[in-house]
Amino acid sequence: MQFYSLPESLSPSQKRRRRSLVRGRLALVMGLLGVTFILLTFGYVTWEQRNRLIQRNEDDLGNAAFFLADHAARLIEVTDLTLKQTTALTHKQGWEQVETSRALWEQIRAVQEALPYIEDVWLNDASGRLRLTSAQFPTPVANVSGRDAFEAQAMRDRGLFIGQPIVGRLTKEPTFMISRRLQNGNAEFDGTASVTVALSYFYDYWSKLRLPKGSRIALMRASDGAVIAQYPPPPDALSFAPIDKAAFDKALESSVHAGLYSFVSLGADRIGAYRQVGAMPLFIHASMPQDAYRSQWLVQTRLYGAFALIALLALLALTTLASRQFREQATTATLLERQVAMRTRELRTETAALEILNRTGSILAAELDLDRIIESVVDAGIELTGAQFGAFFCGASQDGKEHYGQYPSEDLRRAFAALDIRAVCAPAFAEGKNVILDDLSQIMTDGGAALAGDGQPGHSAIRSLIAVPVPLRTGDVHGILVFGHEKPGMFGERSERLLAGLTAQAAIALENSRLYRNAQSEIEERKQAQTQQSLLIRELHHRVKNTLATVQAVVGATARSALSIDDFYQAFVGRIISLANTHSLLTEAVWQTASLREILEKELRPYNDTRGERITLEGGAVELPSEAAVPLGMAIHELTTNAAKYGALSVPRGKVAVSWESEPLEDGLRLTLVWQERGGPEVAPPARQGFGSRLLHRVLATQLNAKVEMDFDPSGLRVAIDANLKRMPYPETGF
């Protein structure tokens, strides 16, 4: 091809027209090349698809022969085991015994029923007479002397012999016989043990294979090429399509156990795959018509042809359009150049905005201080929108006060401060909506005046405003970003879109700042909780040691005062329960105090009557420190136990009155408690001092520095306790 340059005398329009003509011709040549390429590709693809379909069919035949041969081998192995088992059952038994043995019949019947593909089990003597069959008992009259499975074994031991298919004389179903030779003690022929296998079992299994239309599957003998079973079965069940024995023998010469070969059957060319069944002279033979691929190949060829035709039409249409487009290219090139220049400017602007957002995002991601976050956001908003100033106002929940503002001049700050921002941008504060005001001088207030006038000479006047809320994840509005300019119409959809991205970053940063402050507060609270927990653990350790010491003292004192084991048990259990009740009250108050009234009520409630007149409790609310609650609780228990055994509570008319008074002291309180019994048996001083007396006089005096007075008035016991209860410092109060 010869190339030449355009003459210099041609005008630019002529040059563009000449170039369009050359490009049109080139497009035509390329279109013809494209048509040729499509046709060649179509031919190559269809030929390759034919070869792939043929190969796939051959692979399917080989796989089918493999799996079916494996299946048949397993069935025949099980059948051989069945025949050997049947032979073993008849060992050393005469035919008369075999024929009349119902037990033997039941055994072979069970064997037959366990194998679904076996139709019947047969035992025949040397003459071919049927002696026993799993089909029925007594044995019907039948003879198999004419069957090849019998005659082959009669001539010599053939091992496991597969007979030709037959229609059973009793069952009338197509089967084939598998036999084994029976011999007597002199190694002479004594009959056969055989089974008949139903062809329907093979047909049911083979029908599950997916092979092309016209495929055939056969079980054949290698010795004579006889077909034992064939699927699809013939109408009369036995007229099987013949196997080309010469072609099959020739294939066996090249591959004994498995292979693929071509042959002619019933005047049609076929391709077949064979596989030997185990080590036996049997083969599975799977075949299909030589042209089985054709129907599917034609379908795919039509499909590819449709695609090729569409491609051709599309190529012709594109070739036609190409010449037209080349003519229009000159016109559109200028327009594209302008659009590219415009888009480039917009891209640079958007790139600059994106860089600002990325820079701000990096700053906000590393910042947790609230004031610096707000400053960074306001500065970035001014850059993004081209505003002259910007400010951040707190949300409505924080009175909408200005938190931070950036102004180029004090005059502009005063002009902005003169606006009622909460009224001007009310939707942003009240509803969380964006607000864009193009010209404040055109917006009138309720009084008819403009929101912003032209201003005095030499002073600034704000015209444009945009307000964007900063929402949090909770849905609340954290604050409002407000930006303004002296010129009208400075903010539009782009400003709103950029500020939406900025407020999203600001919301995350503000949320992180809030979470950081909350985390710091939580850490401090946890430190205080850990300190309090340590103090409580030390207090609990001290209380446990005191409790164990108290229990030890109770055990010793109870043992010394008890007259018998039962007395010891009753007294000890009661005192431990009293101690437990007191501890229960203490634990409810975190081991600080226990109510005196609750201690008395727990001890005396079981002895009160339904009207509540037998027990009288009178006194104000007194909270006993933990150091005093245990000994006082045990003292009340001893008084209650003594009254129930010997005093006023031992008779129905007896009554007990407990009164107390408390007086605050500088280091605690003074408690005066009086126990008075009336209506009980006559009181006399005890002959010996028991545990209760020792507890009242010694323990209370030692632990509480209490004064205890006991008056054994014959009309009723009176006990007065006067104790000063000191406050103890506790972990929670520090007092």
Q: Mean pLDDT for each 10-residue chunk of the chain (735 residues)? A: 48 63 74 84 85 85 88 87 84 84 88 85 89 87 86 86 79 83 84 87 84 85 84 82 84 87 84 88 87 79 83 80 67 66 80 80 77 83 84 69 79 80 78 82 62 58 85 76 86 83 79 77 79 60 53 55 66 61 52 77 82 87 81 82 85 91 86 91 77 68 82 90 73 37
Q: Where do you find CATH 3.30.565.10 in the chain?
A: 562-726
Smallest CA-to-CA distance from 263 within 286, 233, 293, 295 is with 286
- Cβ of 294: how many Cβ atoms within 10 Å? 15
Angle at 323 between CA 318 and CA 325, to 5 degrees: 85
**Pairing label, strands 189-198, 118-124:** antiparallel
CATH 3.90.600.10 at 562-726, yes or no: no
Residues 6+ apart with CB under 8 A from 424: 435, 437, 440, 451, 465
* 183 vs 716: CA distance, rounded Å: 119
pLDDT of residue 659: 94
* 624 vs 638: CA distance, rounded Å: 18
- Cβ of 482: how many Cβ atoms within 10 Å? 26
pLDDT of residue 536: 55
User: HSE-up of 541 (CA within 13 Å, CB side)?
Assistant: 6
Residue 115 burial (10 A CB sphere; 0-12, 13-18, 19+): middle
pLDDT of residue 566: 72
**Pairing label, strands 435-437, 189-198:** unpaired
pLDDT of residue 731: 41
Do 178 and 194 meet the contact criterion of CB atoms below 8 Å apart?
yes
Architecture of the domain defined by 90-202: 2-Layer Sandwich (3.30)
Smallest CA-to-CA distance from 695 within 642, 624, 644, 625 is with 642
Q: Which run of H or of E encompasses 315?
A: helix 294-365
pLDDT of residue 1: 42
Residues 6+ apart with CB under 8 A from 155: none
Q: Give the dihedral of Cα atoms 502, 508, 513, 518; nearest 10 deg.
A: 160
pLDDT of residue 691: 61
- Distances from the Cα of 641 to the Cα of 174, 339, 554, 597, 611, angstroms: 103, 106, 15, 18, 22
Order of all β-strands in the sheet with 216-221: 227-231, 216-221, 282-289, 268-276, 258-265
pLDDT tens, position by position, 209-223: 888 888 889 888 888
Phi, psi (degrees; rounded to nearest 5) at 712: -90, 60
Q: What are the structure tokens assigned to 11, written together? A: 């005008």
How many residues does this entry show for the chain? 735
Smallest CA-to-CA distance from 118 within 197, 200, 201 is with 197
* 670 vs 247: CA distance, rounded Å: 125
pLDDT of residue 657: 93
Q: What are the structure tokens assigned to 611, written together? A: 């009207």
Do 209 and 62 meet the contact criterion of CB atoms below 8 Å apart?
no
* 519 vs 513: CA distance, rounded Å: 10
Q: What are the structure tokens assigned to 207, written together? A: 């029908």
Q: Where do you find CATH 3.30.450.40 in the chain?
A: 367-513
pLDDT of residue 658: 93
* 168 vs 59: CA distance, rounded Å: 37
DSSP state of 473: T
Q: Which run of H or of E encompasses 441?
A: none
Residues 6+ apart with CB under 8 A from 685: 712
pLDDT of residue 673: 92
* 639 vs 710: CA distance, rounded Å: 11
Smallest CA-to-CA distance from 710 within 652, 653, 647 is with 647
**246-282 burial, b for 16+ CB within 10 Å, e for fewer?**
ebbeebbeeeeebbbbebebeeeebbbbbbbbeebeb
Handedness of CA 679, 685, 686, 691 (dihedral sign): positive
CATH number belonging to the domain at 367-513, selected among 3.30.450.40, 3.40.50.970, 3.50.30.60, 3.50.50.60: 3.30.450.40
DSSP state of 458: T
Angle at 418 between CA 413 and CA 420, to 5 degrees: 120
Q: Where do you find CATH 3.30.450.20 in the chain?
A: 90-202
pLDDT tens, position by position, 368-394: 777 788 888 888 888 888 888 888 887
pLDDT of residue 560: 54
* 122 vs 179: CA distance, rounded Å: 9
**Pairing label, strands 623-625, 258-265:** unpaired
pLDDT of residue 674: 94
Q: Which run of H or of E encompasses 184?
A: none
Angle at 595 between CA 592 and CA 598, to 5 degrees: 140
